Structure 1
Amino acid sequence: MLTLVAAAGTPAAADRGSPTRSPSPQPAPEVKTGVGIRLLDAPANRREDSRAHRYIVDHVAPGTTIKRRIVVENKAEMRRPVAVYPAAAEVGPDGFVFAPGRTPNELTSWISVERGEVPLNPDEEKTLWVTIAVPRKASAGERYGVVWAEVPGTGTNMVRNVGRAGIRIYLSVGQGGEPPSAFEVAPLVGGRDADGRPTVTAEVRNTGQRALDLAGELSLADGPGGLSAGPVKTETVTLGLGGTATVRIPLDKRLPDGPWAATLALASGWTKRTVSSTVTFSGKAATAPASGERDRTVAVLTGGLLVSALVLATFLGLVHRRRNRAMRPPLRAG
């Protein structure tokens, strides 16, 4: 028997339609497309997994059928139909990437939506069931997709701008327990960008067997004069299997160079890591000197070396003459 818990009503990612593949934007407080969609259910065994309250995230055995409730909302000021359908997605070097339109994949062939289209009045909501029936012969592995809510857009016959919002799907299939999720975080590095703004960066690597959505907070302590700063939230970074990325946190331009005790806490659902390092923010990013400046630098260095060599030679000459005088026998009177 499947047990579900209520999921948080977080707005889903929005899209205005694109002829090519592009990364899926992160959830935002306001959905500007005029359509909204959110997840109502999460598995009881993922109660502590924050991702499962925003996206359809699960691990199931072949032959399993799961159901999730979603809420679709018309945010426009007119009555209009809202189409609801699954479409393909993938996770790669560019993060979570959804395919254009209704492009299918293996996962979408397993998905059915209670109603493919619902007419809604302004601000009206409708709850629908999404069913995912995994075939008994499905191979092991993680699949990705999106359940979209789409409204008609405006435009010409050549270009059509549609609005849609979606809920991501991360479905792992396989016998036994869920594959582990894990990641590594390299030591933190401080610096300033070309505009002089202090930044902290960290390289992260997915060392587990499931895709990750990493987000967290950076805190600074023990700065000059006992100053502290933060916490500052990071942007969400999606990592595929074996993937690497740089988490970059820009900070207030007024922060002094330091040193600072920096602590970065990252999490993907219930998988969490914390790393601490001492960082400093040096001056503006170094730039290579122009060729004329390089020539002048070389000339100054060369001149300095010549002067040093002359001084050294003079000193050695004086020492040599004094030593010779000391070794001569004294002159006797005739």
Structure 2
Amino acid sequence: MNRRDDTRAHKYVVDHLRPGTTIERRIMVKNQSEDRRPVGVYAAAADVTGEGFVFAPGRTENELSSWITVNRPELDLAPGEETEVLMTIEVPRAAEAGERYAVVWAEVAGAGGQTVRNVGRVGVRVYLSVGPGGEPPSGFEIGPLTGGREKDGSPVLTAEVRNTGRRALDLAGELRLTDGPGGLSAGPVKVEAGTLALDGRTTVRVALDRRLPDGPWEAKIDLASGWTKRSATGRVSFGPVPVAATSAVDRSGQVLTGGLATSGLVLVLFAVYAYRRRARVRQPVAVA
């Protein structure tokens, strides 16, 4: 299946294979530190539970990780040096149908003292569905949108999401608020819902700026897992902002624009890229 338009496959290895099939990926590993580093590359077990995508400790193996090999398990990289590693997934002919999870790690280790060993690693997730015929369908439902406020007065929009398909999902998207008091609007605000297991449910919570008025607002949330996309709309209110009896709040000069949610930072240790090859070589596809 061509996944060039599947944004999820740009970040992870996501595929459906028949028993007896072999595929290859090329992963670029780069040393972004200022020191020469020995790097171990290996596959290890993972799972998708109610807690999301869960990594097994160390080099714990599962069925899928035992199908994965790398041609260069040990690297020695100078500062700024990058190199390719060929990853192969070979599905046994007797493999049973179902979805499996693993991760391919690039790991560096160094001594932090005589009795301390510091280990850092970064990996590429693998979501592999196995079975005859085409890929199992992916799907999810978004429940009604609800507004409320935390104890500190911060407004929160919530919605329950249910996985209705036959593959795990990695959900993310945006929230927009329009037609608020005085014609105000806010957003788009990034929404991160994490990994949702088969038959799983989760409550998406979108925290907003404390200054956001009660409303009502027209809310629209867009969520996607790769090319599987859903939207939900609703009219919501957040309730009044709690104010202490001795306090006076002047909102006359407030102006709200888009981007009322905070964002985080991600520390990247390695840059990883990949492309897929089945019966013939295909064009490179970047993953993170």
TM-score normalised per structure 2: 0.82
Distance in 1 of aligned mates of 2:120 and 2:193: 23
Residue 153 of structure 1: how far off its partner (Å): 3.0
Find the aligned partners of 1:241 and 1:219 in 2 and give their Cα distance.
Answer: 28
- Separation in 1, partners of 2:191, 2:166: 23
Structure 2 counterpart of 1:261: 218
Q: Residue 249 of structure 1 corresponds to which residue in structure 2?
A: 206
For residue 242 of structure 1, give the secondary structure of its aligned residue in structure 2. Answer: coil
Matched, 1:277 2:234: yes
Question: How big is the shift at 1:235?
Answer: 1.7
Distance 2:131 2:96 in 1: 7
1:62 has 2:19 as partner: yes
Instruction: Compute the RMSD of aligned alpha carbons.
Output: 1.3
Which residue of 103, 117, 131 corresponds with 1:146?
103
Tell me the TM-score normalised to structure 1 length: 0.71
Q: 147, 160, 185: which one pairs with 1:203?
A: 160
1:39-54 equivalence runs, <5 A: 45-54=2-11
Q: Secondary structure at the match of 1:109?
A: helix
**Is the contact between residue 237 and residue 247 of structure 1 (CA under 8 Å) also seen in structure 2?**
no
Q: Write the deviation string for residues 80-105 of structure 1: whole angstroms up to 9, x where unpaired.
A: 21110000000001000000100000
Structure 2 distance, partners of 1:78, 1:270, is 40
The structure richer in helix per residue is 1
Partner Cα distance (1:178, 1:78) in 2 = 44
The structure 1 residue matched to 2:50, chosen from 89, 93, 96, is 93
Count of matched residue positions in the alignment of Structure 1 and Structure 2: 242
Q: 1:158/1:183 Cα in 2 relative to 1: closer, same or farther (>3 Å)?
A: farther
**Structure 1 runs of 4+ with >6 Å offset:** none
2:2 alignment partner, SS class: helix
Alignment of 1:183-332 (within 5 A): 183-283=140-240
- Identity across the alignment (%): 66
Q: Using the TM superposition, give the Cα deviation of residue 114 of structure 1 relative to its aligned residue in structure 2, in angstroms.
A: 1.2
Q: Which has the larger radius of gyration?
A: 1
Q: Which has the higher contact order (CA 8 A, sep 6+)?
A: 2
Indicate yes or no: 2:43 matched with 1:80. Answer: no
Secondary structure of the corresponding residue to residue 107 of structure 1: helix
- CA shift at 1:218, angstroms? 0.1
Q: Which ranges in structure 1 are unaligned for 5 or more consecutive residues?
A: 1-43, 286-334
CA contact (8 A) 1:193 1:284 kept: no
Deviations 1:145-203 (A, max 9, x none): 00000001333565532010000000000000100000010011001111101111110
